[in-house]
């Protein structure tokens, strides 16, 4: 009896080893293909250099949709199609101008996405500086008729730059409303930037009903320091701001979708992708050209290796993540209407730097299972070791709110340099390293292969 048990146990062990070995061989092939033959970097060059930045609703965004669809059509997908999405179109208009009036020193500013413009001739007003948004409550009437300037430097205490970013992002999203409540006529805030340079970082902001919508702009770190120093010498100095942004009528545009049909469970869908729109400065290279070109290249890698998926793999390029998330909302509406079985979502929208791991949104049992079974395949050989319970990407998080049982993976590249370039004129193709990007493709394709091959073995999920 004892011998029999030992025999059964060793059989079990060897078959497990067999699976792990097969996986390990497949991951080797995937990474090798990605480094030698991967094309994410070449595709990214076309997207960034020939199309450029592409805010939702703009002609460039439309061009990106058409080009992405034709790119997907070059691959042996079973279906490539566009999904209609209506998006708000915010247009920056002519470049912003700002300066300290007395000294004529210019200040580098960028209107925040969604901001109203100044009157045609601009505004000139005194400035009241605070460090934190919360300090506005202590201002009393001191901000009335003035430009409110929130000057909180980047928080270096967080090694994960995404944490530093998210802890301070309310300065951008809620700042204009909080300033307007105190009677401010414009809002300036120090860019959410991890580097001290003269590039302002844009990003979305919001207004509230019954509170005045005031012009809202980000100021670069260097210009913020300059203004702060000048205010120390003369607290009554005036600043001139002129910016010309406005909302245009809604525009009909699209999510771009391609499907590779599963041969065992065609009705079970693995959604993988990222957003195709970008802000209207730079080239939207890290945010999010790398995510869109990288996820496509991950699928192309599996196709080139002759892989046949068990489940349907669906590539989605979401439109309008940056200023409304309408693409992801529409994707969720359609998926729910069609009663789809969305088993897994994978998103890439955190830059094209060297991959470090995946955040996982799933039950505790499922997360532990992934950590125990898959992390060992990645960590030593490929330097991908951070597998933690965490948030999905923005787009999958939005549609995923209707699909609570979908396991969601969010690619986490190295975070150190992302907020140097995020939402700025610096987010260009030249900032992306081919080796780092193709290494991310290796990680995405490996994860895609593993979830497709082993989904049924993961505990607590849709069976």
What is the size of the binding site for Zn ion (CB under 5 A)?
3
The interaxial angle of helices 2-37 and 434-454, nearest 10 deg, is 140
**What is the rounded CA–CA span in Å between residue 334 and residue 343?**
16
The only residue of 349, 359, 420, 452 in contact with Zn ion, by rule CB under 5 A: 349
Q: 98-101 long-range CB contacts below 8 Å, 24 or more apart?
A: 98/217, 98/219, 98/239, 98/240, 98/241, 98/242, 99/239, 99/240, 100/226, 100/227, 100/230, 100/237, 100/238, 100/239, 101/237, 101/238, 101/239, 101/240
CB 277, min distance to Zn ion, A: 9
**What is the rounded CA–CA span in Å between residue 122 and residue 41?**
42
Residue 229 burial (CB count, 10 A): 9
Q: Contact between 118 and Zn ion (CB under 5 A)?
A: no
Q: Contact between 280 and Zn ion (CB under 5 A)?
A: no
Nearer to Zn ion, 43 or 287 (CB): 287
**What is the rounded CA–CA span in Å between residue 12 and residue 14?**
6
Nearer to Zn ion, 260 or 358 (CB): 358
* Residue 238 CB burial class (10 angstroms; 0-12, 13-18, ≥19): middle
Q: Contact between 396 and Zn ion (CB under 5 A)?
A: no
CB 219, min distance to Zn ion, A: 22
Region binding Zn ion by CB under 5 A among candidate stretches 3-11, 247-255, 328-336, 341-349:
341-349
Backbone angles phi, psi at 119, to 5 degrees: -55, 160
The only residue of 259, 287, 340, 420 in contact with Zn ion, by rule CB under 5 A: 287
Region binding Zn ion by CB under 5 A among candidate stretches 28-36, 122-130, 285-293, 424-432:
285-293
CB 51, min distance to Zn ion, A: 16
Specify the DSSP element, H or E, that contains 2.
Answer: helix 2-37
Q: Contact between 288 and Zn ion (CB under 5 A)?
A: yes
∠ CA 47-50-55, rounded to 5°? 60
Nearer to Zn ion, 259 or 349 (CB): 349
Instruction: Write the binding mask 295 to 334 for Zn ion: x where contact by CB under 5 A, - elsewhere.
Output: ----------------------------------------
Region binding Zn ion by CB under 5 A among candidate stretches 54-62, 119-127, 295-303, 348-356:
348-356
Nearer to Zn ion, 287 or 340 (CB): 287
Q: Contact between 410 and Zn ion (CB under 5 A)?
A: no
Region binding Zn ion by CB under 5 A among candidate stretches 138-146, 194-202, 349-357, 369-377:
349-357
Region binding Zn ion by CB under 5 A among candidate stretches 48-56, 281-289, 430-438, 455-463:
281-289
Largest CA distance in the chain: 94
CB 424, min distance to Zn ion, A: 13
Binding site for Zn ion (CB under 5 A): 287-288, 349
């Amino acid at each position: 009896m004892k011998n029999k048990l030992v025999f059964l146990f060793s059989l079990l062990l060897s078959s497990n080893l067999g699976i792990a070995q097969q996986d390990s061989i497949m991951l080797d092939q995937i990474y090798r293909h990605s480094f030698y033959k991967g094309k994410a970097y070449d595709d990214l060059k076309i997207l960034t250099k020939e199309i450029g930045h592409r805010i939702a609703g703009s002609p460039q965004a439309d061009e990106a949709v058409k080009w992405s669809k034709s790119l997907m059509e070059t691959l042996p997908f079973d279906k490539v199609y566009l999904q209609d999405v209506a998006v708000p179109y915010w247009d920056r208009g002519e470049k912003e101008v700002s300066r300290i009036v007395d000294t004529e020193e210019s200040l580098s500013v960028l209107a925040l996405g969604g901001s109203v413009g100044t009157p045609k001739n601009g505004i000139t007003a005194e400035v009241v500086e605070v460090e934190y948004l919360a300090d506005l409550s202590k201002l009393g009437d001191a901000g009335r008729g003035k430009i409110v300037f929130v000057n909180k430097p980047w928080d270096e205490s967080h090694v994960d730059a995404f944490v530093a970013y998210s802890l301070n992002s309310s300065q951008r999203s809620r700042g204009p409303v909080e300033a307007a409540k105190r009677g401010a006529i414009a809002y300036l805030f120090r860019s959410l930037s991890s580097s001290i340079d003269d590039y302002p970082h844009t990003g979305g902001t919001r207004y509230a009903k019954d509170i005045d919508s005031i012009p809202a702009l980000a100021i670069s770190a260097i210009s913020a320091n300059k203004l702060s120093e000048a205010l120390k010498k003369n607290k009554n100095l005036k600043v001139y701001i002129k910016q010309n942004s406005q909302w245009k009528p809604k525009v009909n545009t699209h999510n771009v979708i391609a499907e590779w049909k599963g041969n065992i469970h065609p009705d079970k869908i693995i959604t993988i992708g990222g957003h195709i729109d970008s802000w209207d400065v730079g080239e939207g290279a890290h945010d999010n050209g790398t995510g869109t070109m990288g996820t496509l290249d991950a699928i192309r890698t599996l196709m080139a290796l002759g892989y046949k998926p068990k489940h349907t793999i669906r590539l989605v390029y979401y439109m309008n993540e940056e200023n409304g998330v309408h693409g992801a909302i529409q994707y969720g509406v359609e998926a729910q209407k069609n009663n789809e079985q969305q088993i897994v979502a994978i998103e890439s929208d955190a830059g094209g730097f060297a991959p470090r791991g995946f955040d996982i949104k799933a039950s505790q049992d499922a997360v532990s299972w992934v950590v125990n079974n898959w992390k060992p395949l990645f960590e030593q050989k490929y330097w991908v070791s951070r597998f933690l319970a965490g948030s999905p990407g923005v787009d999958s998080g939005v549609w995923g709110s209707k699909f609570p049982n979908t396991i969601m993976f969010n690619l986490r590249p190295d975070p150190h340099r992302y907020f140097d370039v995020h939402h700025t004129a610096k987010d260009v193709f030249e900032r992306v390293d081919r080796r780092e990007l193709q290494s991310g493709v290796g990680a995405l394709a490996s994860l895609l292969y593993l979830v497709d091959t082993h989904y049924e073995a993961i505990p607590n999920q849709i069976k």
